Homo-oligomer: A and B are copies of this chain.
């Protein structure tokens, strides 16, 4: 009676319960279930019947302790609400599922403390990789912090993947999946310039955010290429949200109202900018042109539909997961191969209806 545990006990059934009830050994049940060992048809039938009867599932914790187990990847993000996130996550999740992998999600809320806590938590979980999403704030400590993460994870047999931010400096065991951020901004700005715009309001984002830095730089390069002087006074930094777009345009209309186009750092910012222009009685794109960045669904749902830069978010997610899977299968094959550690995906301009050649305003 008090053998180990009554079979009819509450809680989940163990492999032992199944073995007992099927009248076979624990090992046999394990073999039937994992299927990597020859088993007689008779045995299989008997075991499977009991498994169904008991609605038994193996304990993932015990399994991974013993060596097996389904690999898991962790996705860490600042703000789960961002539209870009959802698409990267979809890519990761889809690719993970394809391989029978699992994915965890954690949000950091821009808090370094919490980020550290999460990376450690994931390390405890024994994840195959930690995927860090989104642009980074390039403060002093940042490089050191990430390098430490990378080495910690690497030492534990895991791996750090940076998605959507520049690669780390030095010899750090991390993979970066990036997109041609600066190139996209360059192309987008060129599009405005070739349409004839010269006075352009630029809303790249937070000055410390790597994403914003790249977008600003791309725009500047385009101006240089066109021989158009770039006026730093036309740049306004701020968060990637609707409100910032609105307020920045409001302020610009007051300070430097001679702009004929807005180069927004994000589609959402562009939406805010468009709203502010309309509130001021200006028409888009007749009076002022607007372009965005990201090409989230919102871009094609606004009126007018937004010309923007397409960023392959979902593809990045897939690529990130594939990088992890390859590395894991390749094993010691390509340790520290310089390539494969930094993957860059292309961007391109999607032309819609928010750009017109400039007209002279009063």
Contacts and interface: CB of A to CB of B under 8 A. Distances in A.
Interface stretch (A149-157, A203-211, A218-226, A256-264): A149-157
A93 B106 contact: yes
A55 interface: yes
Interface stretch (A41-49, A134-142, A268-276, A323-331): A268-276
Contact of A301 (B103, B106, B121, B242): B242
Contacts of A5: none
A103 B62 CA distance: 19
Given A60-B124, A105-B105, A107-B93, A155 B80 contact: no
Contacts of A58: 124
A10 B173 CA distance: 15
A143 interface: no
Contacts of A61: 60-62, 64-65, 69, 125-126
Interface in A35-85: 55, 57-65, 69-70, 80-81, 83, 85
A26 B213 CA distance: 50
A278 interface: yes
A194 B58 CA distance: 58
Interface in A102-149: 102-107, 114, 120-121, 123-126
Given A124-B58, A124-B59, A303-B275, A90 B107 contact: yes
For chain A, the bracket of interface size reads: 35 or more
A359 interface: no
Nearest to A93: B107
A12 interface: yes
A156 B105 contact: no
Nearest to A275: B303
Interface in A82-101: 83, 85-87, 89-90, 93-94, 97
A281 interface: no
Interface in A237-290: 242, 268, 271-272, 274-275, 278
A297 interface: yes
A65 B302 CA distance: 51
A24 interface: no
Residue among A59, A69, A124 with the most chain B CB within 10 A?
Answer: A124
A229 interface: no
A195 interface: no
Identify the 6 closest CB pairs spanning chains A and B, nearest first: A60-B124, A12-B156, A61-B61, A271-B301, A61-B65, A105-B105
Given A12-B126, A93-B107, A103-B104, 5 more contacts: A11-B156, A12-B123, A61-B62, A80-B90, A104-B104
